[in-house]
């Protein structure tokens, strides 16, 4: 899910139903970018291209390095569109429609029976400080690039993650314009192996057409 002043773009994926299977994306047309998932948001207005780029950057990669999305929607003013509305029972829809259930800016925590009271208590106590930090960081980010403060970092992570996991998180946040305390410079991402080997067959995979080549 991503948004700009122009509107909102949402994408979701169901296992085994990515753009290659769902939208018949040819392997030689894979770009590892927004073009891979454009089939999920037909009719996307040009004003929402930046939101599509942001949403795509947060998607998982498939076996062929394609960005994975099974369904999508867009909202621009009083106009809407996307495969969510064209095929409301299609793969990935259940993962996407839950965003329409936002309550106070958050997805509801679905629990049943006696666990409901425990969930409510956790949301009021343990989760409340974390939600407050998230709200503050998002508010700052809407005004421009921002970074976590040391106090925010200490509240979110009492124990720092392993270096490899930390670097992955930093890179993902950096894509959203949020950096670690002190805005440390991150090392460049390592190049992908060439050729890529299909983990299921052990054979080289077709080389995708990447946008930087």
- Indicate if 31 and 121 belong to the same structural domain: no
C-alpha span between 109 and 120 (Å, rounded): 9
**Structure confidence by residue, pLDDT tens digits, 81-120:** 999 999 988 898 988 887 776 666 666 665 556 676 777 7
C-alpha span between 17 and 68 (Å, rounded): 8
The two most distant CA atoms of the chain are separated, in Å, by 56
Task: Answer yes or no: is 42 within a domain.
Answer: yes
Task: Answer yes or no: is 73 within a domain.
Answer: yes
Q: Specify the DSSP element, H or E, that contains 12.
A: strand 7-12
- Indicate if 51 and 87 belong to the same structural domain: yes
- Indicate if 91 and 124 belong to the same structural domain: no
Q: Do residues 17 and 93 make contact, with C-beta atoms less than 8 angstroms apart?
A: no
Q: Do residues 75 and 7 make contact, with C-beta atoms less than 8 angstroms apart?
A: yes
Task: Answer yes or no: is 167 within a domain.
Answer: yes
Q: Which of 14, 69, 27, 24 lies closest to 44, judged by CA?
A: 69
Taking the CA atoms of residue 145, residue 53, residue 188 and residue 144 in that order, the dihedral angle to the nearest 10 degrees is 0
Residue 8's pLDDT is: 93
Contacts of residue 157, defined as CB under 8 A and 6 or more positions apart, other chains included, come to none
Helix (H, G, I), strand (E, B) or coil at 34: helix
Residue 34 domain boundaries: 2-101
Residue 110's pLDDT is: 58
Q: Do residues 41 and 74 make contact, with C-beta atoms less than 8 angstroms apart?
A: yes
Could you tell me the two tokens for 147? 């970074």
Q: How many domains does the chain have?
A: 2
- Indicate if 31 and 6 belong to the same structural domain: yes
Residue 112's pLDDT is: 56
- Indicate if 17 and 52 belong to the same structural domain: yes
Residue 213's pLDDT is: 46
pTM for this model (two decimals): 0.60
Task: Answer yes or no: is 199 within a domain.
Answer: no
Domain boundary among 101, 132, 153: 101
pLDDT block averages, 10 residues each, the chain of length 213: 91 91 91 94 96 92 91 94 91 82 62 68 81 90 89 84 86 86 83 77 71 48
- Indicate if 73 and 9 belong to the same structural domain: yes
Residue 210's pLDDT is: 52
**Is 125 exposed, middle or buried, given 0-12, 13-18 or 19+ CB atoms closer than 10 A?**
exposed
Could you tell me the two tokens for 213? 């080549």
């Amino acid at each position: 899910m991503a948004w700009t002043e122009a509107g909102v773009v949402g994408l979701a994926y169901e296992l085994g139903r990515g753009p290659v299977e769902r939208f018949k994306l040819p392997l030689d047309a894979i770009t590892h970018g927004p073009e891979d998932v454009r089939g999920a948001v037909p009719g996307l207005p040009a004003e929402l291209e930046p939101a599509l780029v942001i949403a795509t950057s947060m998607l998982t990669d498939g076996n062929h390095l394609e960005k994975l999305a099974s369904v999508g929607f867009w909202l621009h003013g009083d106009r809407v569109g996307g495969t969510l509305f064209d095929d409301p029972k299609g793969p990935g829809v259940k993962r996407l429609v839950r965003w329409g259930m936002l309550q106070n800016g958050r997805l509801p925590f679905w629990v049943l029976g006696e666990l409901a009271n425990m969930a409510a208590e956790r949301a009021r106590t343990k989760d409340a400080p974390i939600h407050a930090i998230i709200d503050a960081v998002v508010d700052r980010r809407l005004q421009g690039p921002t970074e976590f403060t040391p106090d925010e970092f200490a509240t979110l992570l009492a124990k720092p993650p392993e270096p490899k996991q930390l670097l992955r998180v930093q890179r993902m946040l950096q894509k959203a314009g949020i950096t670690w305390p002190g805005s440390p410079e991150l090392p460049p991402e390592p190049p992908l192996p060439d050729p890529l080997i299909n983990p299921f067959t052990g054979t080289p995979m077709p080389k995708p057409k990447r946008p930087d080549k």
